[in-house]
Amino acid sequence: MAKDGNGQVSGKLGINTRLAHSGNNPHDYFGFVNPPVVHASTVLFRDAASMAARSQKYTYGTRGTPTTDALAQAIDTLEGSAGTIVVPSGLAAVTVPLLAFVSAGDHLLIVDSVYHPTRNFADTMLKRLGVEVEYYAPDAGAVIAALIRPNTKVVFTESPASNTFEVQDIPAIAKAAHAAGAIVMMDNTWATPLYFRPLDHGVDISIHAATKYPAGHSDVLLGTVSANESHWKQLYESFCTLGCCAGPDDVYQVLRGLRTMGVRLEHHQRSALTIASWLEGQNGVARVLHPALPSHPDHGLWKRDFSGSSGIFSIVLAGGGQKQQHAFLDALRIFGLGYSWGGYESLAVPVWLGDRVVAKGPYDGPLIRLQIGLEDVEDLKTDILRGLTAAAAA
């Protein structure tokens, strides 16, 4: 295994090797395996000249520390990016790059199946700042060219879709956007860079709620935003302008989580697929929305572009409404009812599609999103059967 001048692993290495060895260089800190957790606002300069020239690596806590650099460099290795900023939440990882690149009078295209708080930010703050916001169907692919206007600045994608898991044709979208001079951003939280590398498929800015799989334990909020060479400078400068830096303990926890993310994801993937295929044969389930299942309408696209699947998908109950949906959720004993995902524990949430403009379904019944944790599959199946029995009786 070779390390470059920055202590980063290089060469053709497996993903778990890269997860174990990317980021900090232990020999920068007396050989300690993990980087220090640097709590910093002030950084001292040796003299007035170096202060005036800002000619040292670190100048102030908001602009980066050895701890944030360790995580950012590890993410760069995984993403193939020129630079990564680390921000205090996954939502900040959405809002900071949008603020960095859109201006009053710009047109912003967002996939209609986007994470709801992304839509809320666009519909409230960005509209107030004079940005025109439009939503496109997740199956748009190359047809998105018809929606691109001379003032389209950014196409914001998220694939698979939040809650309904449609897969987008990212290379086709990127080609159309770039032909018109627009930037492509992608929320890649579901796949992580282990199963999809957005920049390899034409995306300019890759976004992660590191709160999910990188952190992995439902106890940290963090986001990362990675840019290709041509967009890195503007992203980093905007990040410094906004002062949107993350706390060192949270950054450290995510770097710690990253080391085991490959192993955890394999388990999430296997369990989720086992449960998803089993659910396809269960009474009371109309459809399972998981792109790695051959029955999923976008399975071909997923297979073409992704190298794996994670632990979250949705089911459509066979008929009924909110009463049946709530009966299912209330019968669960192992699955917790709570937002977020990517942690070790299983979670279930009711899916609400009331914000959608084009990607509304129709679906045969109410939707429930399941995050499959690291528990034993047989126990999770038993719990889901409790939910299905309760929904049928409601």
Ligand X SMILES: Cc1ncc(COP(=O)(O)O)c(C=O)c1O
Q: Where does this chain bind ligand X (CB under 6 A)?
A: 89-91, 115, 158, 162, 187, 189, 209, 211, 221, 223, 340
C-alpha–C-alpha distance, residues 283 and 366, integer Å? 15
Q: Which is nearer to ligand X, 158 or 204 (CB)?
A: 158
Q: How far is the CB of 391 from ligand X (least distance, A)?
A: 24
The closest of 5, 29, 38, 9 to 21, measured between CA atoms, is: 9
Q: H or E stretch including 111?
A: strand 107-111
Q: Which is nearer to ligand X, 25 or 188 (CB)?
A: 188
Q: How far is the CB of 187 from ligand X (least distance, A)?
A: 5
The closest of 209, 214, 238, 234 to 224, measured between CA atoms, is: 209
Q: Which is nearer to ligand X, 55 or 120 (CB)?
A: 120
Whether residue 27 contacts residue 239, with contact meaning beta carbons closer than 8 Å, is answered with no
Q: How far is the CB of 254 from ligand X (least distance, A)?
A: 11
How far is C-alpha 141 from the geometric centre of its chain's CA atoms?
20
Q: Which is nearer to ligand X, 9 or 367 (CB)?
A: 367
Q: How far is the CB of 119 from ligand X (least distance, A)?
A: 11
CB count within 10 Å of CB 246 equals 23
Whether residue 226 contacts residue 206, with contact meaning beta carbons closer than 8 Å, is answered with yes
| Cβ-proximal residue to ligand X, closest one | 90
Q: H or E stretch including 237?
A: helix 229-242
Whether residue 369 contacts residue 313, with contact meaning beta carbons closer than 8 Å, is answered with yes
Q: How far is the CB of 144 from ligand X (least distance, A)?
A: 20
How does strand 183-187 pair with strand 152-158? Answer: parallel
Q: How far is the CB of 221 from ligand X (least distance, A)?
A: 5
Q: How far is the CB of 88 from ligand X (least distance, A)?
A: 8
Q: Which is nearer to ligand X, 94 or 388 (CB)?
A: 94
Q: Which is nearer to ligand X, 204 or 320 (CB)?
A: 204
- What is the C-alpha R_g of the chain? 22
Could you tell me the CA-to-CA distances from 328 to 44, 317, 331, 349, 385 in Å, in that order?
58, 9, 5, 10, 9
C-alpha–C-alpha distance, residues 214 and 282, integer Å? 32
Q: Which is nearer to ligand X, 262 or 343 (CB)?
A: 343
